[in-house]
């Protein structure tokens, strides 16, 4: 429609072109809007009465977010999902969702977790949740007895959230999720006579649902930093919580009320990445296994950690992901190695298409003491390697020449 005045044409001209479309674009459009329009008051009533095909405000919901949530739920075999602005926002929303679904209050909630926890999550737990009344209990993830002991020491009328990572960051310690969940649920089946409930929350960021689905192995909820493998292109930040409907709806309220919604464009970028997730994860895994095996043969390299090499490799028949870590002789050697790399870049994140390295002692675990680092299997010479999709010969050649002081091999 054309109007007589230029101001009106600039604002309204041509709007019917998309409002009256009778077919659909092959690729989902980006609904980069803060608010949606209605044709009538009856439509507003329909939305407020729960019409699932209507939207009002992108802080509450958006078609791009809805599509991403639906696809993630299908990938993780979950009833429902909610996305958030980051992986850390997802951790917080997941804890809130489990706590409220379990009928608990913060002062009656214990989080039992691994001492090999990602540094950012550990900071959230101890710096933010403890002052709110949560109790955090760290245990040795490699000792099932220690986990069960921590659960059995729970006071009466307390919700226990068992929080685990499928593969720890950056120590690369793989958890036997099936064995862990079976033992935990056997110890506290539902809400026992002591009034204690149990929910098992798993961070599946390092494996993704292409390789492992914790809900199929007894977990109650799963979360992701979608920034990593789900997006896969290092160009969108986000998070996701997946669980039964009740938990997700409480988590969704936390996302809305704390203002941690994912933007439509970030959702769209993550949806684009999901289309190649299985292929990418297969390649990441095969490359990482190749590189890990070669690193173990180098005299300059110590303590190569990759889940595909250890006793739990049979737990991941589809692959063990693209993340590994190793130690060098000293922190000075680690610095020389990073400076000597040519193709591989030093980037404090992970899971992109290109191979990158990070130095945990100065990034994710920067504020931790030497003693705390050692307790998590990390040293000041630990290198974390995010193995990309390049030819593994080229990846290894760059590693070799950097270990030799930056000289060409």
- Tell me the pLDDT of the chain (409 aa) as tens digits: 667 777 777 767 666 666 677 777 888 899 999 999 999 999 999 999 999 899 999 999 999 999 999 999 999 999 999 999 999 999 999 999 999 998 877 778 999 999 888 888 999 999 999 999 999 999 987 777 888 888 888 887 789 999 999 998 888 888 888 888 888 887 765 555 545 689 999 999 999 999 999 999 999 999 999 999 999 999 999 999 999 999 999 999 999 999 999 999 999 999 999 999 999 999 999 999 999 999 999 999 999 999 998 766 777 889 999 999 999 999 899 999 999 999 999 998 899 999 999 988 766 656 666 666 666 667 788 999 999 999 999 999 999 999 998 544 3
Pairing of strands 345-346, 356-358: parallel
Which of 388, 391, 329, 331 is CA-nearest to residue 354?
388
DSSP summary character for residue 107: G
> How buried is 243 (Cβ within 10 angstroms: 0-12 exposed, 13-18 middle, 19+ buried)?
buried
State the number of CA atoms in the 13 A half-sphere of 43 facing the CB: 9
Calpha distance 317→217 (Å, rounded): 14
Which residue segments constitute the domains of the chain, with CATH numbers given?
A: 62-274 (3.40.640.10), 277-403 (3.90.1150.10)
Residue from 278, 295, 301, 275 nearest 392 by CA = 295
pLDDT score of 409: 37
Are 205 and 69 in contact by the 8 Å Cβ rule? The answer is no
pLDDT of residue 191: 52
382: three-class secondary structure by DSSP: strand
Query: Rounded to an integer, what distance in angstroms lies between the CA atom of residue 242 and that of residue 240?
Result: 7
| The two structure tokens encoding residue 353 | 């298409």
Burial of 405 (0-12, 13-18, 19+ CB in 10 A): exposed
Which pLDDT does position 102 carry in this prediction?
86
- Tell me the C-alpha distance between 375 and 354, whole Å: 31
- C-alpha dihedral (4, 7, 9, 15), degrees to nearest 10: -140
70: nearest Cα among 192, 240, 213, 265: 240
168 vs 181: CA distance, rounded Å: 17
């Amino acid at each position: 429609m054309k109007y007589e005045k230029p101001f009106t044409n600039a604002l309204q001209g041509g709007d019917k072109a998309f409002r009256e479309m009778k077919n659909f674009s092959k690729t989902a459009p980006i609904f980069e809007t803060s608010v949606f329009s209605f044709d009538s008051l009856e439509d507003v009533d329909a939305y407020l009465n729960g019409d699932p095909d209507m939207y009002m405000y992108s802080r509450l919901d958006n078609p791009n977010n809805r599509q991403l949530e639906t696809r993630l739920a299908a990938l993780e075999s979950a009833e429902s999902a909610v996305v958030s602005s980051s992986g850390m926002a997802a951790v917080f929303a997941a804890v809130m969702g489990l706590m409220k679904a379990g009928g608990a209050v913060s002062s009656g909630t214990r989080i039992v977790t691994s001492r090999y926890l990602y540094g950012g999550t550990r900071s959230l737990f101890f710096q933010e949740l403890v002052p709110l009344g949560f109790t955090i209990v760290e245990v040795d993830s490699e000792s099932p007895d220690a986990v069960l002991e921590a659960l059995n020491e729970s006071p009466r009328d307390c919700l226990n959230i068992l929080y685990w990572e499928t593969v720890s960051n950056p120590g690369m310690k793989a958890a036997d999720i099936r064995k862990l969940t079976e033992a935990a649920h056997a110890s506290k089946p539902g809400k026992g006579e002591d009034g204690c409930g149990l929910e098992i929350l798993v961070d599946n960021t390092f494996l993704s649902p292409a390789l492992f689905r914790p809900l199929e192995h007894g977990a109650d909820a799963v979360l992701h930093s979608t920034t990593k493998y789900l997006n896969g292109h290092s160009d969108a930040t986000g998070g996701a919580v997946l669980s039964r409907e009740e938990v997700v709806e409480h988590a969704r309220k936390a996302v809305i009320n704390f203002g941690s919604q994912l933007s439509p464009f970030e959702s769209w970028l993550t949806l684009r990445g999901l289309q190649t997730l299985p292929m990418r994860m297969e390649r990441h895994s095969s490359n990482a296994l190749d590189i890990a095996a070669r690193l173990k043969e180098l005299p300059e390299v110590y303590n190569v950690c990759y889940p595909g090499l250890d006793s739990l490799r049979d737990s991941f028949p589809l692959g063990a992901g693209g993340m590994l870590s190793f130690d060098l002789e000293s922190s000075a050697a680690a610095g020389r190695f990073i400076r000597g790399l040519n193709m591989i870049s030093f980037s404090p994140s992970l899971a992109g298409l290109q191979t990158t390295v990070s130095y945990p002692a100065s990034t994710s675990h920067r504020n931790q003491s030497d003693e705390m680092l050692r307790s998590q299997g990390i040293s000041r010479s630990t290198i974390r390697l995010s193995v990309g999709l390049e030819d593994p010969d080229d990846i290894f050649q760059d590693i070799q020449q950097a270990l030799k002081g930056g000289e060409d091999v």
